[in-house]
A and B are shown apart, each in its own frame.
Chain A
Amino acid sequence: MTHISSHKSDSDLPPFIKSWPQMYGIVIGTLLIQMLLFYWMMRYFE
């Protein structure tokens, strides 16, 4: 197995994402948006 450096890890980021903390922010932000959307959907259709 080859040793994996943190530099290599950063180069695996998707396009337009500059760092892992930014990527994690997107994941958590998406979760919040999903919960808000679900809440809106529930209120709209109930």
Chain B
Amino acid sequence: MSLIDWLVLVGTLSFIILYGIYKSRGKQNIEDYLIAGQSLPWYHVCLSVMATQASAITFLSAPGQGFSDGMRFVQFYFGLPLAMVVLSITFIPIFHRLKVFTAYEYLENRFDGRVRMFTVSLFLLSRGLSTGLSIYAPSIILATILGWDITWTNILMGAVVLIYTVTGGTKAISYTHVQQMLIVTIAMFIAGYMVVHLLPADVGFVDALKVAGKAGRINLIELEFDPNSRYNIWSGLIGGFFLQLSYFGTDQSQVGRYLTGQSVGQSRLGLVMNGLLKIPMQFLILLVGVLVFVYYQYNASPIFFNTVETQKLQSSQYAGDYQKLESEYNVLSAQKKQTVLSLKSALDRADETAIATQQQALLANETKAKEIRSATADLIKKNNPTADTSDVNYVFLRFVLDHLPVGLIGLLIAVIFSASMGSIAAAYSSLASTSIIDIYKRTIKPDAPESHYLTASRVATVLWGLFCIFIAQYASKLGSMIEAVNILGSLFYGVILGVFLVAFYFKTVQAQATFWGAILAEIGVIACWWFDLTAFLWLNVIGCLLVIGFAWILQQFSRPQTA
């Protein structure tokens, strides 16, 4: 990166952090630190939940998915608006009425301490691990592509967030979230514009979409019901609904965001606006990836976007094999350019026969290119068994570094950092609030003064920050990282949601039945995942329904509990 890019990167991040700390200055109590004194307006709530959900992985993997797999990933979010409506009707009024700091406090009111502790344990386990992954995932990509040291990138990513989270608490997190989302949105629009600008002069935005459509990248809706297909309209609407309901309704990193709303209405409005904005935002990010795909139809693409690994190959014993693959790929790239030019010409003439012929040629070329890329990935693995070969995560960053102008590179790296910081900050805060309110205050020191809990919350934030950085250092290599995070959540979220739904809607089911029902359901979900019985989005539905089913059945065999 150039000096200007460094200045833009450091300047943008410093502005966001210092602004957040400045806006949250002043004397704080535990309520201010954990839920911003319930003083924030709806747009803070909306942007804060969006920034919490949109991690750096979103901006690295999603354009890569658009590039390699098209836009079908957008269906993953179809259940989100429905979940926002249910949350606004049921969850928000209850959490506000009971004046809770964490979602799990409610479970002790409704059931008992055992059920509360069980869900708290599942949350701390899944959120602690996935936050480590949220630090590691962008760090490994930035470190690989920019040649930074992974340890220091992890520490930088995790520690900077720790400073403003501990200093300013939830208010600082919320103010930084607003700035982060504004910068992220502006930068993604600029990136999309720049990709179209870099296309040949006679290829406009609509032409690019036509080419993408013929290459199968505008695959926005898949109507066929297939439980093993990760993304179709049904898994998005049903599986996505359960995932988003459990994520936003029971994950403290999100509950903590909308509890900051100054009233029930402001919290509701923040969530329903998220329901309106999330799908268009995800559509835009995937569209950028699709436009990058079109760019590489007119221009030669790297055989592998993680070019650091291909450089290693060139100086290895596999250099000969690699050069053979590269020559084959270069021939294919030249053919691809000719094919896409002919396709564009056929589209301009509306010559259906020629369009069909060139479309077939383009698809055949792509199949062959995929085979070569796959053979290259095998070669990379042979050369370096620990290499990260999930190339989808490197597509967008490689494009940014190779083709965008000085200054914009720094801004887009800042976007990746900002997005990462947004979700990590919310996670630190939620881990600390759950540890202090649900464990420390409840079981270890119930009657301490407010100032003690404030200090304890700050200490807990630091300890969880260090834990997550530690996990990041030892995170193993995973596939497409955005999916890995979602899979980890899906193992636990469905069960936690099931417990909450039993609490809200099954008034006759008591604590004992719910507790054992939840344990049996968790075993069932892990078994489904272990034996690979279904796509991961359905694990949320299965987990939730199993808890309800088991709890209800067990309740029928239980003696009524006495008060």
CB of A20, distance to nearest CB on chain B (Å): 7
Q: Is the CB of B263 within 8 A of A44?
A: no
Tally of contact residues, B, Cβ under 8 A: 38
B71-108 at interface with A (beta carbon < 8 Å) = 74, 78, 81-82, 84-85, 88-89, 93, 96-97, 99
Q: Which residue of A lies closest to B266 (CB)?
A: A12
Complex interface bits, A3-17 against B, C-beta within 8 A gives 1, otherwise 0: 110101111111000
Cβ-Cβ contact count across A and B, 8 Å cutoff: 88
- How distant is the Cα of A27 from the Cα of B468 in the complex, in angstroms? 36
Q: Is the CB of A4 within 8 A of B218?
A: no
The majority secondary structure among interface residues of chain A is helix
Q: Is the CB of A24 within 8 A of B88?
A: yes
CB of A17, distance to nearest CB on chain B (Å): 10
A24-42 at interface with B (beta carbon < 8 Å) = 24, 26-28, 30-31, 34-35, 38-39, 41-42
Residues of B contacting A28 with CB < 8 Å?
81-82, 85
Q: Is the CB of B38 within 8 A of A1?
A: yes
Residues of B contacting A45 with CB < 8 Å?
209-210, 212-214, 218
Q: Given A41-B220, A46-B214, are A10 and B279 neighbors across the interface (CB < 8 Å)? A: no
Q: Given A24-B272, A38-B221, are A13 and B279 neighbors across the interface (CB < 8 Å)? A: no
Q: Is the CB of B220 within 8 A of A38?
A: yes
CB of B120, distance to nearest CB on chain A (Å): 22
Which of B214, B263, B276 lies in contact with A9, CB distance below 8 A? B263
Q: Is the CB of A35 within 8 A of B221?
A: yes
CB of A36, distance to nearest CB on chain B (Å): 9
Q: Is the CB of B272 within 8 A of A38?
A: no
Residues of A contacting B84 with CB < 8 Å?
27
- How distant is the Cα of A9 from the Cα of B88 in the complex, in angstroms? 11
Residues of B contacting A31 with CB < 8 Å?
78, 81-82, 275, 279
Q: Which residue of A lies closest to B221 (CB)?
A: A39
Is B31 located at the chain interface by the 8 A CB criterion?
yes
B202-252 at interface with A (beta carbon < 8 Å) = 209-210, 212-214, 216, 218-221, 233
Q: Which residue of B lies closest to A24 (CB)?
A: B85
Size category, A interface: 20 to 34
Is B157 located at the chain interface by the 8 A CB criterion?
no
Is B42 located at the chain interface by the 8 A CB criterion?
yes
Residues of B contacting A3 with CB < 8 Å?
97
Q: Is the CB of A30 within 8 A of B221?
A: no
Q: Is the CB of B96 within 8 A of A4?
A: yes
Which of B78, B209, B269 lies in contact with A35, CB distance below 8 A? B78
Is B265 located at the chain interface by the 8 A CB criterion?
yes
Q: Which residue of A lies closest to B275 (CB)?
A: A27
- How distant is the Cα of A13 from the Cα of B268 in the complex, in angstroms? 9
Q: Given A4-B96, A35-B78, are A46 and B218 neighbors across the interface (CB < 8 Å)? A: yes
Q: Which residue of A lies closest to B35 (CB)?
A: A1
CB of B32, distance to nearest CB on chain A (Å): 11
Q: Is the CB of A41 within 8 A of B81?
A: no
Residues of B contacting A46 with CB < 8 Å?
213-214, 216, 218-219
Q: Which residue of B lies closest to A36 (CB)?
A: B221
Residues of A contacting B74 with CB < 8 Å?
38
Q: Is the CB of A9 within 8 A of B213?
A: no
Q: Which 9 A-B pairs give the minimum distances between C-beta atoms?
A: A12-B265, A45-B213, A38-B220, A9-B265, A9-B264, A45-B218, A31-B81, A24-B85, A42-B220
Give chain A's interface residues, CB within 8 Å of chain B. Answer: 1-4, 6, 8-14, 20, 23-24, 26-28, 30-31, 34-35, 38-39, 41-42, 44-46
Not counting A1-B38, A14-B269, a sample of 4 additional A-B residue pairs whose C-beta atoms are within 8 angstroms of each other reads: A4-B263, A24-B85, A28-B81, A31-B82
A sample of 17 cross-chain residue pairs with beta-carbon separation below 8 angstroms, ordered by A number, consists of A1-B31, A2-B38, A4-B264, A9-B265, A12-B266, A13-B265, A20-B88, A20-B89, A27-B85, A27-B276, A28-B82, A34-B280, A38-B220, A42-B221, A45-B209, A45-B213, A45-B214
